[in-house]
Amino acid sequence: MGILYCISVHNFEDQEYDMMKYDLDGKNKQIVQINASCPFHYTDFIFPVTITDNMNNEEPLIYFLSENYTIVSDINVSTCNTILYKKNVGDNIKFISMTVDKTNIYTLAFNTLQHTYHIYILKKKYASLKSENADKYIDKIIIGENENILQDIFAFDKSLQPLYPLMRCLTPDEKVYNFENVNATGNGIVVNLPELVVKSGCKKYNLPTTIYTVFVSHCSNNNLNKSEEFNVLTTELYYEIQNLTPFTEYMLKFTLSNFYFDQLSINPFDSNVIPIKTNLGKLNAPENISVLTLTPTIAVVYWMPPNKVNCVVVTYEVHWKYPEYDEEYAWPADERFSFSTLGKQTKTHTAQ
């Protein structure tokens, strides 16, 4: 959790100040008395800019900017140093804003007499807790007269480039991605999803979080030609699809995308479709079986298919026995009825 800093007046008459430290949730308040050598009493105690910098220091530093001063301190404000004083850099100067990068400190200032804006650039190595005469190392850029009021300054340079990937590096390489591995259980399917490949020249950047959408379909009840589908979303490479029907064939595929696919109008990448059947369980038995005898040697057997099909082809056989024989006979049948010739010559067949 980060830390929130603020400065409060401890004693106006003696010009004593305290540094207040909080967790970002406002808890764990700590009071750190500011070292008397810190030159805050020279200022009007208004700091429009306070920057905590830990880019390239062993210990973080805090830069304070007022209209008149730039001050640097350690993180506990136990050691301080005045980096810039406005009268040492120019007449009629008022400091406005400040920013930093890995190398420099940039200060935006306004000349109240000439009505021009200036940018003062100071290398960080001259702005340490022990630096002296930092104003001798300043580079100045005069912006000139400007009808607009400038209030802030921001630094963007190559040192910050790792934070801002090239646009083409925001999405993965456009190859075909498929399931790495798929395993079925009795009522579930475990899938391993692929890691994405970064594009050439983008290996130093991390891809944004990948969103995998796994689509699961299976045939509709009593209709092998129609399917029902649902999908699940995950950002993990491992996912278990649960609460499936045992001994049922499912069709799986997935799409992948990230936040920038929509922003850049890129369609999600599709995988190939694969079939997989859950194991365990057994086929549901036919229902409403009835037998009608037509002649002494012919009978008709009727049945209804199970209410819930398993999306696999089912083979039916009709079995019967003669009372005077122990041998059992079987005959292939279609889904609803079978004409069977009852006799000792009947052979056993298997059909789908």
How confident is the model at residue 250, as a pLDDT? 92
Residue 158 within any structural domain of the chain: no
More confident residue, 227 or 45: 227
* Structural domain that includes position 197: 167-278
Whether residues 16 and 120 fall in one domain:
yes
pLDDT for 159 beyond 60: no
- Residue after which a domain boundary falls, among 228, 262, 278: 278
Whether residues 7 and 128 fall in one domain:
yes
Neighbours of 295 (CB within 10 A): 8
Whether residues 33 and 131 fall in one domain:
yes
Residue 161 within any structural domain of the chain: no
> What is the Cα–Cα distance from 320 to 312, expressed in whole angstroms?
26
Residue 129 within any structural domain of the chain: yes
Residue 40, sorted as left (phi over 0), alpha (psi -120 to 50) or beta, turns out to be alpha
CB burial string 185-199: b at 16+ within 10 A, e below: eebebebebbebebb
Whether residues 114 and 35 fall in one domain:
yes
Q: How many DSSP H helices and E strands does the chain contain?
A: 2, 24
Amino acid at 160: L
Whether residues 69 and 90 fall in one domain:
yes
The per-residue pLDDT of the chain, averaged, comes to 78
Whether residues 174 and 195 fall in one domain:
yes
Whether residues 216 and 290 fall in one domain:
no
> What is the Cα–Cα distance from 140 to 116, expressed in whole angstroms?
12
Residue 254 within any structural domain of the chain: yes
If you average pLDDT over each of 53-57, 63-67, 157-161, 249-253, which comes out highest?
249-253
* Segment 258-317, tens digit of pLDDT: 999 988 889 999 999 999 988 866 666 777 888 888 887 788 888 877 666 666 666 777
> What is the Cα–Cα distance from 57 to 135, expressed in whole angstroms?
21
Residue 126 within any structural domain of the chain: yes
* Segment 238-271, tens digit of pLDDT: 999 999 888 888 999 999 999 999 888 899 999 9
How confident is the model at residue 29, as a pLDDT? 75
Please report, for residues 173, 179, 213, 240, 260, the alpha-carbon distance to residue 237 in angstroms, rounded to integers and kept in the order given. Answer: 17, 10, 12, 10, 20
Whether residues 68 and 46 fall in one domain:
yes
Q: Which pTM value belongs to this model?
A: 0.46
Domain count, the chain: 3
How confident is the model at residue 275, as a pLDDT? 93
pLDDT for 171 beyond 70: yes
- Residue after which a domain boundary falls, among 221, 250, 278: 278
Residue 207 within any structural domain of the chain: yes
Whether residues 34 and 7 fall in one domain:
yes
> What is the Cα–Cα distance from 149 to 152, expressed in whole angstroms?
10
Residue 266 within any structural domain of the chain: yes
* Segment 5-45, tens digit of pLDDT: 676 666 666 656 667 777 766 677 777 767 666 766 555 55
> What is the Cα–Cα distance from 309 to 220, expressed in whole angstroms?
8
Closest CA to 59 of 39, 79, 40: 79
DSSP state at residue 260: H
Are the C-beta atoms of 196 and 207 separated by less than 8 Å? yes
DSSP state at residue 235: S
Amino acid at 185: T
What is the CATH number for 209?
Answer: 2.60.40.10
> What is the Cα–Cα distance from 298 to 74, expressed in whole angstroms?
102
185 HSE (CA, 13 A, CB side): 10
> What is the Cα–Cα distance from 249 to 224, expressed in whole angstroms?
11
Residue 236 within any structural domain of the chain: yes
Neighbours of 237 (CB within 10 A): 13
Cβ-in-10-Å burial (0-12, 13-18, 19+) of 212 comes to buried
Are the C-beta atoms of 111 and 118 separated by less than 8 Å? yes
> What is the Cα–Cα distance from 103 to 127, expressed in whole angstroms?
11
pLDDT for 147 beyond 70: no
Are the C-beta atoms of 256 and 210 separated by less than 8 Å? yes
What average pLDDT score do residues 85-97 get? 85
